[in-house]
Every structure is written in structure tokens, then in C-alpha cells.
Amino acid sequence: MLKIDYTTDMKYWMICMSYMLAMLVMGGASVSANESNHSATVEKGVQQEASTQHKSIEDCSSISMDELVKRLKNTKAIGFFTKLAIRSDVLGFQDKVKKMRENKQIKDKMKDIKASFDGLLLKIIALLEKDPDLSKEIYLARHSIFKSLLEVQG
């Protein structure tokens, strides 16, 4: 017959219960602490993200065009003829801008120029699928690239 030792069982039961209670109290305390810190953490996170984005924008504006061109020349993600074709496209774009500047149409046709540049950029980014770092940097520096292409005088 099963013999139950109530005193020992009760002792174990009490220990278990007190342990569980202690865990619950600690959990509750940490939850309340988390809740109070939550808004502060979110704020901090948002600030951090904003600072990271700002930093990345600053980093990209500091990337020189020469370096990007050099990296584009040296990348193994696209072949020699593709690079030549891209170069031809960029030169064609510059010629287009130059002609528009000569005819004093640059302000009127700015929308077309931007669309043409976006198409060119999209092509390059798609081609650089195997070099995601360079692709990302070119995308982030797109405004500087557009500016520098517009500034080039023929």
C-alpha cells in the first residue's frame, strides 16, 4: 500500500509554491520596470535609427565620384562590354544634358532628364546584383551623382 508522508510532501509543496510566488513577483516587477522603460527605449531606438540614417547619408555624401567610378571599373559583377555599354549610356546622358543646356531647355526638361537618369541608375543597380555593397552605395549617392552629371560642362 502507498504510504504518504504528509509532512515531507507538504514541505516540498510549500517550497515549490514559495518558489513560484517568488518567480511571479520578480516577473511582475520586471514587467512593470519594462513598461516604464519601454517608452524611453523606443525613444532611444528612434533616436539611434535617425542618427544612423543621418550618419549613412553623411557617409554617402562623403563618397567621391572618382572612387565610385573606380569601383565600378574594378567590379567583377559586370563584364567588360557591359561596362563599356554603361559608359556609353552615361556619356550619351551627358551629351543630352549638354545639348539641352545649349538650347536653354534644361529647366523646362528637368523632369525628362531626371526620368532618364533614374532609368540609367536602375539599369546599373540591376546589373550590380552580384556586388550589393557597390549597388547600395551608388543608390545612396544617387543625388550627388545626378548633381555631378548635371554640373559637367561639355
Partner 1 sequence: MKTWMKTILWMLALLLASPAWAISKAEDIATTILLRGFACGGKQVTQIQQENDGHGNQTIRATCPNGVRYQIDVSAAGQVKVHPL
Task: Name the residues that contact partner 1, by CB under 8 A.
Answer: 76-82, 84-89, 91, 123, 127, 130
Closest distance to partner 1 from the beta carbon of 30 (Å): 48
Give the residue with the Cβ less far from partner 1, 1 or 126.
126
**Cβ nearer to partner 1, comparing 60 with 86:** 86
- Shortest Å, Cβ 133 to partner 1: 13
The dihedral formed by the CA atoms of 10, 11, 12 and 14, expressed in degrees to the nearest 10: 80
Q: Residue 58: which residues within 8 A CB-CB, separation 6 or more?
A: none
Cell matching residue 143: 543625388
Taking the C-alpha atoms of residue 22 and residue 84, their distance in angstroms, rounded to an integer, is 72
Beta carbon of residue 152, minimum distance to partner 1 (angstroms, whole number):
17
Q: Give the residue with the Cβ less far from partner 1, 77 or 125.
A: 77
How far is 59 from 53, CA to CA, in rounded Å?
10
